[in-house]
């Protein structure tokens, strides 16, 4: 059987890179004494597939992985067993058996939501925050520089920025962002932050911004036509 | 310390390259209630996290101490320069990983001395922790600073900085040490009288309090020996030994790092000690006698560690695992039990014989690229001098087995500058490597393989070490070592041979600190002030600063490293007793010059090194049990 598990990466684990997380997860899965599945061949590796990588410093409450197991296991029990042996800051939230879906998580997930906190050097009113967001959304295009294997290239992120809301809160600008993710197009929260800063700095200046921006992923989703599903609903 | 925690997590750690080095919340890390214990200790590893977390001794002591309800032990590692800079700019004291407390909050700090080139990191850790460097400047309020490990057998260069040293195997003595400290504080409302507690500690076998001793020098400044200054202090300090490895503590729940560390696997310690008797090898003399752990216990331990760590590999560790008398049945059973869980096995060190190649074949279901062996010297004559009982025949047998079994690379370790070495011995290294390569080509060709064999020749420089038969030997000068390195480079012409060598300057400083006396402390402190850190890391090693430190303190390091010592000379470590008699070392040295070898007391008659006679211990083999 295959389980789809939702997990969180909290404060205590926020400095883990995706590679660190995969290593920590594999060890925890081994400690949980579940009937794991390994690949065939000379160098068998544990079969787990992750929905998406999360950058160092970013926390999340909506990460997903698929875990094949030998035999049938109640999803609840698997969650409990794994939670008993996970290191600090990683936690299984829920699980369902995969019954319908044939594609990998990575192939079907196309939407990510984030909450971003940007410290400001001066307090602002709610109305000002809303104006800033309106200015950002009014831009027809915004190109960022991406470095890939083939060198640098300019990419327009505006089409992939699906939603942006903003609030003023205790000298902070809080953003809720929904962006396209996955193989069809991928926008990073850092790029949206750059777009916001760039747009607002025009009137407010560079000194407007404080340090230590925090990024938290609210979840990964599947957008089909105009409906949005969580990966657990599309298992 | 919620404030420090916030500053670290919000401002400092996001700026350093590997924040996971400093988190202290790994799986199996122990965070105890500070108020609920009687003694708070800190294990200080004077190298970076990834090195320290690969050290079995840390996991053992951390486990032993934290298993006791009355004590706690936390960890600190040498901060990488990026963190050091952040700490200095913000005036944040170096902190323990588990509870983020400054070093000064602890009752006791313990350094492990694994390598001479980590000494500047010891001073740096003390200084960043806000503690005075010199023991006499740390008063009753400061934590006691202790140190143990192999370099504690000549700790004189550190004598000014460390309050006391512990000789021998830590798990055997640490709880006695802590009991004395805790009892001392218990009757003083949690405070300590430093002089008094050191006197109490000095009564424990294996504890050496350097301030109770005085180093003597003649008018020319020549070292004359160490004299007892404090009435009642023992004239000789004898090491502590675990008698029976089956009774010793083992860590069933070692900490599982988030970061990929140097040895990222579970360590199953199959035996301790080695009596092969290589005359340059300090570990071979320090860790006597050989004590094996029984196979059934090892299997139980493997099950437990695997259950509690989730590691994917088991390493059968020891100084020489192919010497374990039950190695084949152990290996078979470990493979059988863990194969289904996809847990592999690794052997860290291989003896130069085909038996070892067969073991390697067993464990490597997945063909890795190569195997490593250490013939150490290029000619039979020199191998006899050093008592490395390996013949050219052994090596060729190994080479054949390696290439026959499908490996294509073989790595050979040698040493330059060994006593009595001549150019013929260097030629011998080149010739051996060429012969192995040639044999490899023949075998691969016969097998119809298109791959080409590679022989890696890795050459280090001989460092005379205390408590070995070669402790009286001079080291070749840096210039001579470099000349030999170059000579060898020119002798190695074949395309399939890769040649590496270690920096001669580092080996020179190793010899200086291995053999030096108390006066060296000044140069060490000066080098640290000038900015020396992580001297064992070539990207950080700055020899010109070391030269400046020696110049400023008037110490001529060549007199320590490059001068021969006579049997009449007092040695800075004469008062520290490993259990092996000095007379035995002298006899071994004389045999070296006669090209006479000494057998291994596991298989040959006892050569009366003194260990079993004097320390009431014995060699424990498990064969047939």
Tell me, what CATH number does A146's domain have?
3.30.70.3190
Q: How far apart are CA B234 and CA B212, in angstroms?
A: 9
Q: Which of A43-47, B82-86, B526-530, B563-567 has the lowest mean pLDDT?
A: A43-47
Q: Are residues A138 and A89 in the same domain?
A: no
Note whether residue B49 is domain-resident. yes
Q: Are residues B233 and B310 in the same domain?
A: no
All residues of chain B having their beta carbon less than 8 Å from the beta carbon of residue A57 are 14
Q: Are residues B23 and B71 in the same domain?
A: yes
Is the pLDDT confidence value at B421 over 80? yes
Q: Are residues B171 and B280 in the same domain?
A: no
> Residue B453: which of B404, B420, B502, B500 has the closest Cα?
B404
Q: Are residues B232 and B271 in the same domain?
A: no
Q: Are residues B511 and B600 in the same domain?
A: yes
Q: What are B219-245's pLDDT values in tens digits?
A: 999 999 999 999 999 999 999 999 999
Q: Which chain B residue's Cα is nearest to A39? A: B342
Q: Do A26 and B310 touch (CB under 8 A)?
A: yes
> Residue A116: which of A185, A205, A178, A202 has the closest Cα?
A178
pLDDT of A28? 98
3-state secondary structure of B414: strand
Q: Which chain A residue's Cα is nearest to B306? A: A31
Q: How many CB pairs under 8 A join A and B?
A: 62
Query: Taking an 8 Å Cβ-Cβ cutoff, which residues of chain B contact chain A?
Result: 9-11, 13-14, 19-20, 23, 25-27, 256, 258-260, 306-312, 341-342, 365-367
Q: Which chain A residue's Cα is nearest to B266? A: A27
Note whether residue A234 is domain-resident. no
**CATH code of the domain covering residue B597:** 3.80.30.20
Q: Strand pairing partners for B410?
A: B371, B455
Query: Which range of residues forms the domain containing residue B131?
Result: 2-238
Chain B nearest C-alpha distance from A191 (Å): 19
All residues of chain A having their beta carbon less than 8 Å from the beta carbon of residue B313 are none
Q: Are residues B335 and B220 in the same domain?
A: no
Q: Do A57 and B14 touch (CB under 8 A)?
A: yes
Q: Are residues A148 and A218 in the same domain?
A: yes
Q: What is the distance, to the nearest Å, from the Cα of residue B409 to the centroid of all Cα atoms in its chain?
A: 27
Q: Which chain A residue's Cα is nearest to B261? A: A20
Nearest to B11 among A23, A29, A212 (CB): A212
Which of A59, A90, A107 represents a domain boundary (last residue)?
A107
Grade residue B368 by pLDDT with cuts at 50, 70 and 90: low
All residues of chain B having their beta carbon less than 8 Å from the beta carbon of residue A88 are 25, 27
Q: How far apart are CA B491 and CA B484, in angstroms?
A: 10
Q: What are B278-323's pLDDT values in tens digits?
A: 999 999 999 999 999 999 999 999 999 999 999 999 999 999 999 9
Q: What are B345-362's pLDDT values in tens digits?
A: 988 878 888 888 888 888
pLDDT of B350? 85
Mean pLDDT of chain B: 95
Decide: B385 and B588 in contact? Cβ < 8 Å.
no
Nearest to B20 among A15, A30, A42 (CB): A15
Q: How far apart are CA B226 and CA B215, in angstroms?
A: 4
Matching residue, tokens 């006579």 = B566
Chain A nearest C-alpha distance from B343 (Å): 10
Is the pLDDT confidence value at B340 over 90? no
Strands A172-180 and A111-119: antiparallel
Cβ of A39 under 8 Å from any chain B Cβ?
Answer: no
Q: Which chain B residue's Cα is nearest to A12? A: B25
Cβ of A35 under 8 Å from any chain B Cβ?
Answer: no
User: How many Cβ atoms are within 10 Å of B539's Cβ, its own excluded?
Assistant: 6
pLDDT, average across residues B449-459: 94
Is the pLDDT confidence value at B85 over 60? yes
For B384-405, give the DSSP string. HHTT----HHHHHHHHHHHHHT
Q: Are residues A117 and A30 in the same domain?
A: no
Q: Do A30 and B310 touch (CB under 8 A)?
A: yes
Q: What are A97-138's pLDDT values in tens digits?
A: 999 999 999 999 999 999 999 999 988 999 999 999 999 999
Q: Are residues B207 and B312 in the same domain?
A: no
Note whether residue B250 is domain-resident. no
Chain B nearest C-alpha distance from A140 (Å): 34
3-state helix, strand, coil split of chain A in percent (to 5) is: 30, 35, 35
In B229-293, beta strands by DSSP E: 237-238, 266-269, 271-272, 291-292
- Give me the torsion for CA of A40, A45, A48, A51, rounded to 10°: -110
Nearest to B19 among A15, A29, A43 (CB): A15
Q: Do A24 and B258 touch (CB under 8 A)?
A: yes
Q: Which residues contact B170 (CB under 8 A, 6 or more apart)?
A: B57, B60, B61, B64, B148
Q: What are B567-611's pLDDT values in tens digits?
A: 999 999 999 999 999 999 999 999 999 999 999 999 999 999 999
Q: Do A16 and B26 touch (CB under 8 A)?
A: no
Q: Which chain B residue's Cα is nearest to A214? A: B10
All residues of chain B having their beta carbon less than 8 Å from the beta carbon of residue A44 are 342
All residues of chain A having their beta carbon less than 8 Å from the beta carbon of residue B341 are 30
Q: Are residues A220 and A117 in the same domain?
A: yes
Q: How far apart are CA B184 and CA B194, in angstroms?
A: 10
Q: Do B366 and A42 touch (CB under 8 A)?
A: yes
Chain A nearest C-alpha distance from B254 (Å): 13
Q: Do B366 and A57 touch (CB under 8 A)?
A: no
Note whether residue B543 is domain-resident. no
Q: What are B238-255's pLDDT values in tens digits?
A: 999 999 999 999 999 999
For chain A, the first-to-last Cα distance in angstroms comes to 12
Is the pLDDT confidence value at B406 over 90? no
Chain A nearest C-alpha distance from B97 (Å): 13
Q: Do B310 and A29 touch (CB under 8 A)?
A: yes
Q: What are A143-197's pLDDT values in tens digits?
A: 999 988 888 999 999 999 999 999 999 899 999 999 999 988 899 999 999 999 9
Q: What are B467-503's pLDDT values in tens digits?
A: 999 999 999 999 999 999 999 999 998 999 999 999 9
Burial pattern B222-247, b for ≥16 Cβ within 10 A else e, equals ebebbeeeeeebbeebbbbbbeebbe
Total domains present in chain B: 2
Total domains present in chain A: 2
Decide: B589 and B259 in contact? Cβ < 8 Å.
no
> Residue B118: which of B157, B164, B172 has the closest Cα?
B157
Q: Are residues B157 and B278 in the same domain?
A: no
Q: How far apart are CA B596 and CA B464, in angstroms?
A: 20
Q: Are residues B315 and B458 in the same domain?
A: yes
Q: Do B258 and A46 touch (CB under 8 A)?
A: no
Query: Which range of residues forms the domain containing residue A150?
Result: 109-229
Is the pLDDT confidence value at B369 over 80? no
Q: Are residues A103 and A130 in the same domain?
A: no
Cβ of A18 under 8 Å from any chain B Cβ?
Answer: no
Q: Which chain A residue's Cα is nearest to B367? A: A42
**CATH code of the domain covering residue B129:** 3.40.50.280
Q: Are residues B158 and B280 in the same domain?
A: no
pLDDT of B356? 86
Grade residue B9 by pLDDT with cuts at 50, 70 and 90: confident
Q: Do A57 and B312 touch (CB under 8 A)?
A: no
Q: How many helices (H) and strands (E) does chain B have?
A: 21, 19
pLDDT of B191? 95
Please state whether the peptide bond connecting residue B359 to the residue before it is cis, i.e. omega within 30 degrees of 0: no
Nearest to A28 among B11, B23, B310 (CB): B310
Cβ of A42 under 8 Å from any chain B Cβ?
Answer: yes
Token duo for residue B46? 């004077």
pLDDT of A168? 93
Nearest to B342 among A24, A38, A87 (CB): A38
Note whether residue B270 is domain-resident. yes
Q: Do A42 and B365 touch (CB under 8 A)?
A: yes
Token duo for residue B437? 């390569």
Grade residue B2 by pLDDT with cuts at 50, 70 and 90: low
**CATH code of the domain covering residue A93:** 3.30.70.580
pLDDT of A66? 97
Q: What is the distance, to the nearest Å, from the Cα of residue B462 to the centroid of all Cα atoms in its chain?
A: 16
Q: How many helices (H) and strands (E) does chain A have?
A: 5, 11
Q: What are A137-151's pLDDT values in tens digits?
A: 999 999 999 988 888
> Residue A197: which of A138, A143, A118 has the closest Cα?
A118
pLDDT of A40? 87
Q: Are residues A128 and A96 in the same domain?
A: no
Q: How far apart are CA B369 and CA B165, in angstroms?
A: 42
Chain B nearest C-alpha distance from A183 (Å): 29
Burial pattern B344-363, b for ≥16 Cβ within 10 A else e, equals bbbbebbbbbbbbbebbbbb
Which of B190, B222, B238 represents a domain boundary (last residue)?
B238
pLDDT of B371? 87
Element (H, E) at B522: helix B520-530
Note whether residue B107 is domain-resident. yes
Chain A nearest C-alpha distance from B263 (Å): 14
Burial of A96 (0-12, 13-18, 19+ CB in 10 A): middle
Q: Are residues A9 and A76 in the same domain?
A: yes
Token duo for residue B580? 């092996």
Q: Are residues A58 and A98 in the same domain?
A: yes
pLDDT, average across residues B404-431: 95
Chain B nearest C-alpha distance from A26 (Å): 8
Q: Which of residues 146-205 of A touch B (CB under 8 A)?
A: none
CA A218, A224, A230, A232 torsion-angle sign: negative
Grade residue B365 by pLDDT with cuts at 50, 70 and 90: low
Q: Are residues A93 and A115 in the same domain?
A: no
Which of A55, A77, A107 represents a domain boundary (last residue)?
A107
Q: What are A17-61's pLDDT values in tens digits?
A: 999 999 999 999 999 999 999 998 878 899 999 999 999 999 999
Note whether residue A235 is domain-resident. no
pLDDT, average across residues A83-104: 96
pLDDT of A42? 76
Q: Are residues A122 and A166 in the same domain?
A: yes
Q: How far apart are CA B392 and CA A41, in angstroms?
A: 38
Q: Are residues A47 and A127 in the same domain?
A: no
Q: Do A20 and B258 touch (CB under 8 A)?
A: yes
Q: Are residues B193 and B324 in the same domain?
A: no
Note whether residue A206 is domain-resident. yes
Global pTM? 0.95
Burial of A39 (0-12, 13-18, 19+ CB in 10 A): exposed
pLDDT of B624? 61
Decide: B305 and B60 in contact? Cβ < 8 Å.
no
Q: Do B366 and A43 touch (CB under 8 A)?
A: yes
ipTM score of complex: 0.92
Decide: A27 and A86 in contact? Cβ < 8 Å.
no
Token duo for residue B108? 């006791």
Nearest to A88 among B19, B25, B312 (CB): B25
Q: How far apart are CA A189 and CA A161, in angstroms?
A: 10
Q: How far apart are CA A62 and CA A193, in angstroms?
A: 20
Is the pLDDT confidence value at B366 over 80? no
Is the pLDDT confidence value at B461 over 60? yes
Chain B nearest C-alpha distance from A33 (Å): 8
Q: Are residues A77 and A123 in the same domain?
A: no
Note whether residue B58 is domain-resident. yes
Q: Are residues B277 and B141 in the same domain?
A: no
pLDDT, average across residues B506-529: 98
Q: Do A26 and B312 touch (CB under 8 A)?
A: yes
Which of A83, A107, A131 represents a domain boundary (last residue)?
A107
């Amino acid at each position: 059987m295959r389980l789809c598990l939702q997990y969180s990466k909290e404060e205590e684990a926020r400095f883990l890179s995706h590679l660190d997380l995969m290593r920590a997860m594999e060890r925890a899965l081994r400690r949980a004494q579940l009937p794991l599945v390994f690949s065939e061949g000379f160098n068998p590796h544990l079969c787990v597939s992750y929905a998406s990588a999360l950058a160092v410093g970013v926390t999340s409450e909506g990460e997903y992985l698929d875990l094949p197991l030998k035999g049938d296991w109640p999803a609840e029990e698997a969650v409990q067993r794994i939670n008993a042996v996970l290191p600090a800051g990683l936690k299984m939230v829920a699980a369902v058996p995969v019954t319908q879906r044939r594609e990998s998580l990575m192939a079907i997930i196309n939407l990510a939501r984030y909450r971003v906190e940007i410290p400001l050097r001066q307090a602002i009113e709610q109305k000002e925050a809303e104006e800033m967001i309106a200015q950002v959304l009014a831009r027809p295009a915004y190109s960022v520089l991406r470095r890939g294997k083939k060198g640098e290239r300019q990419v327009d992120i505006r089409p992939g920025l699906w939603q942006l809301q903003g609030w003023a809160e205790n000298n902070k600008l809080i953003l809720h962002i929904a962006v396209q993710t996955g193989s069809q197009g991928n926008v990073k929260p850092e790029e949206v932050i750059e777009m916001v800063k760039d747009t607002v700095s025009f009137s407010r200046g560079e000194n407007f911004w404080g340090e230590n921006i925090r990024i938290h992923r609210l979840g990964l989703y599947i957008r089909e036509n105009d409906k949005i599903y969580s990966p657990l609903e599309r298992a | 310390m919620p404030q420090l925690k916030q500053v670290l997590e919000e401002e400092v750690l996001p700026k350093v390259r590997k924040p996971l080095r400093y988190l202290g919340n790994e799986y199996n890390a122990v965070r105890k209630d500070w108020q609920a214990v009687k003694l708070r200790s800190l294990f200080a590893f004077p190298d970076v996290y990834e090195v320290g977390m690969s050290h079995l001794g840390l996991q053992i002591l951390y486990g032993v101490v934290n298993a006791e309800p009355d004590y706690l032990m936390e960890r600190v590692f040498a901060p990488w320069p990026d963190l050091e800079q952040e700490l200095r700019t913000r005036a944040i004291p170096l902190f323990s990983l588990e509870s983020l407390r400054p070093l000064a909050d602890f009752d006791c700090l313990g350094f492990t001395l694994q390598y001479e080139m980590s000494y500047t990191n010891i001073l740096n850790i003390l200084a960043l922790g806000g503690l005075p460097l010199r023991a006499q400047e740390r008063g009753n309020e400061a934590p006691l600073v202790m140190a143990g490990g192999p370099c504690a057998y000549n700790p004189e260069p550190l004598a000014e900085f460390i309050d006391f040293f512990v000789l021998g195997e830590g798990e055997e003595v640490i709880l006695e040490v802590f009991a004395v400290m805790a009892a001392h504080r218990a009757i003083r409302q949690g405070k300590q009288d430093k002089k008094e507690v050191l006197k109490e500690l000095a009564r424990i076998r294996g504890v050496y309090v350097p301030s109770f001793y005085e180093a003597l020098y003649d008018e020319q400044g020549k070292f004359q020996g160490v004299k007892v200054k404090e009435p009642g202090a023992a004239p000789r300090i004898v090491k502590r030994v675990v008698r029976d490895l089956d009774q010793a503590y083992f860590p069933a729940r070692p900490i599982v790092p988030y970061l990929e560390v140097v040895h990222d696997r579970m360590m199953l310690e199959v035996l301790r000690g080695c009596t092969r008797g290589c005359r340059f090898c300090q570990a071979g003399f320090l860790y006597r006698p050989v004590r094996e752990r029984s196979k059934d216990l090892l299997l139980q331990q493997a099950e437990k560690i695997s259950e509690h760590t989730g590691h994917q590999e088991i390493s059968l560790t020891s100084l020489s695992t192919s010497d374990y008398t039950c190695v084949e049945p152990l290996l078979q059973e470990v493979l059988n039990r863990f194969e289904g869980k996809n847990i592999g096995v690794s052997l860290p060190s291989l003896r130069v014989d085909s038996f070892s190649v067969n073991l390697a074949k067993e464990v490597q279901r997945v063909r890795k690229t190569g195997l490593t062996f250490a013939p150490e010297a290029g000619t039979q004559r020199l191998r006899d001098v050093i008592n490395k009982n390996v013949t050219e025949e052994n090596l060729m047998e190994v080479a054949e087995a390696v290439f026959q079994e499908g490996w294509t690379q073989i790595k050979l370790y040698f040493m330059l500058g060994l006593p009595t070495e001549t150019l013929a011995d260097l030629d011998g290294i080149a010739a051996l490597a060429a012969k192995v390569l040639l044999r490899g080509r023949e075998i691969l060709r016969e097998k119809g393989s298109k791959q080409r064999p590679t022989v890696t020749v890795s050459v280090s420089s001989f460092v005379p070490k205390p408590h070995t038969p070669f402790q009286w030997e001079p080291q070749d000068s840096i210039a001579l070592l470099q000349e030999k390195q170059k000579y060898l480079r020119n002798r190695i012409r074949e395309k399939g041979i890769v040649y590496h060598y270690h920096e001669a300057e580092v080996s020179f400083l190793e010899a200086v600190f291995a053999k030096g006396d108390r006066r060296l402390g000044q140069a060490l402190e000066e080098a640290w002030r000038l900015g020396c850190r992580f001297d064992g890391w070539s990207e950080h090693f700055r020899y010109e600063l070391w030269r400046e430190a020696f110049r400023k303190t008037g110490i001529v390091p060549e007199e320590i490293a490059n001068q021969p010592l006579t049997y009449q000379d007092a040695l800075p470590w004469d008062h520290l007793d490993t259990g092996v008699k000095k007379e035995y070392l002298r006899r071994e040295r004389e045999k070296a010059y006669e090209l006479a070898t000494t057998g291994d007391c596991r298989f040959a008659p006892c050569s009366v090194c003194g260990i079993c006679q004097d320390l009431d211990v014995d060699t424990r083999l498990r064969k047939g049990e």
